[in-house]
Chains A and B, each alone.
Chain A
Amino acid sequence: MILYMDLWHGRCREAFVLADGQSRTPAYVLSAPIATWKKVVTSQLDPIQGIITGQLKLKGNMIMVMRNVRAAKELVAACGRIPTEFPV
């Protein structure tokens, strides 16, 4: 499953499931098994911990990510407030 999110200056302008990963060229690609995502969204795994320790694979500009660790944590916390059904 591929989820596309458009983040712009603190706002999430759109988010949807992508049928084809090739149809977009995002600045970042963050990938992990669904079980790991569940840990992140349910606050069992800190997203920056996940990145540093390789549980979340991230491709993109690390300078920006490591610069904005607080924002990254907030983003995930916001995701965690959305009612979610997990397939696993």
Chain B
Amino acid sequence: MFGRLLRIDLTTSAVETGQVPEEYIREYIGGSGLGVRLLWDALHPDLDPLDPAAPLLWVNGPLTGTGGPTTGRFTLCGRSPQTGLWGEANFGGFVGPELRFAGVDVLWVAGRAAQPVYLWIHDGEAEIRPAGHLWGQADVYETQRRIRAELEVPQARVACIGLAAERGVPFSGIFSDHGRAAARTGMGALMASKNLKAVAVRGARGAGGLPLAEAERYRSLRLAANKALLDETLTAVLRQTGTSGSAEYFQLLGDMPQRYWTQAAFAGAEKISGSAMAESILTGTSACQGCVISCGRVVTVPGGPYATRGPAKGPEYETICSFGSQLLIDDLPAITALGDLCDRLGMDTISAGGVLGLATLLYKRGLLTKADTGGLELAWGDPRPYFTLLDRMARREGIGNLLAQGALALASAYGVPELAAQVGNLEVPLHDPRAATGMALVYVTSPRGACHNQGDYFMVEIGSSIEELGIPMTDRSVDAGKAVFVARHQDFRTVCNSLVTCIFAQVPPSTLAELLSAASGQAWSVEEMLRAGERAWNLKRLLNLRLGWTSDREKLPDLLLRPLPVGGQAGVVPDMELLLGEYYAARGWERSTGGPTLKKAAELGLEWVHR
């Protein structure tokens, strides 16, 4: 059954196999929920995120690799070098399924190798191999190719870090396949601190080797669920236009941020949307393992200053905004090239793009000067200097060293921390909380800092109600009464991050419960799944309180609390005090401690934490 554990200590080269305690799976399902339970005993405030003893977990879910709807995903967990708090990064592509095919549900990596190494995991075995020749490799795609070549296993899946992680950039990620990234919270820097360049994996038995309790029942359920998903209109939108297909609509709503959160109307949106991409440079699509949506974009720019080296990864919505609307760049090939460079260097496009937007705002306000930038002139709409800045950021050279420390460090260095769009030192993703105020609550209460994957509540606010969960569509500009639904939606997304499934899939919760029941052989109801999600959400909060989080940090930066005069969110500012007050009541939390009451903890079976 699900729960096969492979534990590797890179200091001693010890490799052990084992089994995750059964009760952890029953209480936390898998993925990041299971991750926080497993790491609870290991993470303490005096353990630096980059200390050799700080573990990095690769955690699959019980549905990973099973061919169920959007189940080609897994999660990386650890203490974030970027935020100092709970860190998790959800990873699509093929690596998670391949790990399961190779007999590993949870990979626990601790210690620090004396020299750079990579792991080669195949069919129940793990080898630690030298990677000195790959260290300093400034291209994550080339690293993958070289490892596959030297293993002489072209089907091997490789997840690796880039140059930015080696240089300790706090928002560096882990990359695999065709531009798939576990980008947020600096899991790349954590991996680099272990002198671990990559993990290569191959499970020759494929999905046939997965332990499913009721294989035939599961097969029927997954076929029906995938067929239903394929019939969804949103699936067709994502398949044909990618995640940026909604860009023009989000622009209309005021959800798509522009000029680093200071503008609400950008004519260039129509030039950079998913539709524009489909009509110009799109040459293919890509999908995570077993996914019927296929939202990944493959583009080719045949000529000009931003010509691609053959087919390249097309930017998704967050990158379209980070390197497009936020910088007022309406040149799709240029945005593609910036996103591609950021990936190759191994950095998170949300954070890196956010820092570039802030740098430009500071430059236009005369705070940051040409002397600071090494002679580069920053102007809204001009992509050219950003290529140099991204490279310097990854190498931590010149101004790049300051940029690499993130938006809060940059703004603080110039005396304007209120201009840094971040929560908990994680840069805010590209959904404006003034356009859907439930997102304001999601950003300030998320366990990993400002994050839209812990709750894409903006979708609820534009109509994606979930009747099965009693979550109605709420008015996106009205604050009162929505906190209880935000909390319930977060619990549901924590379930998705535990299974692990993609938030783009409109799969009914009851279908997920049936799939989980058939996979595990244990009966799961929707409410039991939600309770597991709520339990994990609370445990992440309790861990963060242990690691130094305080409730007075639950606030949006001043920049995002300034109303914009025009656009789809004109004049709207979330009432944070109202939202938080209702949220704490809905959660059963206390403002004084920032965490659950003893009664709530006991209700969730977490009284042992309080003790």
Contacts and interface: CB of A to CB of B under 8 A. Distances in A.
B233 A52 contact: yes
Given A45-B463, A55-B463, A66 B233 contact: no
A51 B499 CA distance: 27
A66 B249 contact: yes
B128 interface: no
A33 B68 CA distance: 29
A65 B233 CA distance: 12
Contact of B241 (A50, A59, A66): A66
Interface in B204-233: 231-233
B462 A49 contact: yes
Contacts of B274: 63, 66
Contacts of B273: 66-67
A62 B236 contact: yes
A62 to B, nearest CB: 4
Which among B232, B233, B234 has the greatest number of chain A C-beta atoms within 10 A?
A: B233
A54 B246 contact: no
Given A66-B245, A66-B274, A54 B506 contact: yes
B240 A63 contact: yes
B248 A69 contact: yes
B249 A59 contact: no
Given A50-B463, A52-B464, A55-B463, A61 B252 contact: no
B463 A63 contact: no
Given A63-B278, A64-B275, A54 B232 contact: yes
Interface string B228-261: 0001111011011100011011001000000000
Contact of A52 (B246, B270, B279): B246
A79 to B, nearest CB: 19
Nearest to A46: B463
Contacts of B246: 52, 66
Given A63-B278, A66-B249, A66-B273, A52 B240 contact: no
Contacts of A58: 233, 236
B234 A54 contact: yes
Contacts of B278: 63
B interface SS class: helix
A84 interface: no
Q: How large is the interface on A (under 10, 10 to 19, 20 to 34, 35 or more residues)?
A: 20 to 34
A75 interface: no
Contact of B462 (A52, A56, A59): A52
Contact of B248 (A53, A61, A62, A66): A66
Contact of B236 (A49, A56, A59): A59
Interface string A58-88: 1101111111011000000000000000000
Contacts of B237: 51-52, 62, 65-66
Contacts of B276: 67
A52 B246 CA distance: 9
A67 B252 CA distance: 12
B284 to A, nearest CB: 15
B317 to A, nearest CB: 12
A1 B278 CA distance: 33
Contacts of A48: 249
Which among B232, B270, B462, B463 has the greatest number of chain A C-beta atoms within 10 A?
A: B463
A63 B270 CA distance: 12
Nearest to A57: B233
A50 B241 CA distance: 17
Contacts of A49: 462-463
A84 to B, nearest CB: 22
A55 B472 CA distance: 13
A6 to B, nearest CB: 22
Given A66-B273, A66-B274, A52 B249 contact: yes
Contacts of A50: 463
Contacts of A56: 233
7 contacts: A51-B237, A52-B459, A52-B462, A52-B464, A53-B459, A53-B465, A67-B273
By Cβ-Cβ distance, the 6 closest A-B pairs, closest first, are A49-B463, A67-B275, A53-B463, A62-B240, A53-B464, A63-B278
Given A66-B273, A70-B248, 13 more contacts: A45-B463, A46-B463, A49-B462, A52-B249, A52-B464, A54-B233, A55-B463, A58-B233, A62-B240, A62-B241, A63-B275, A63-B279, A66-B248
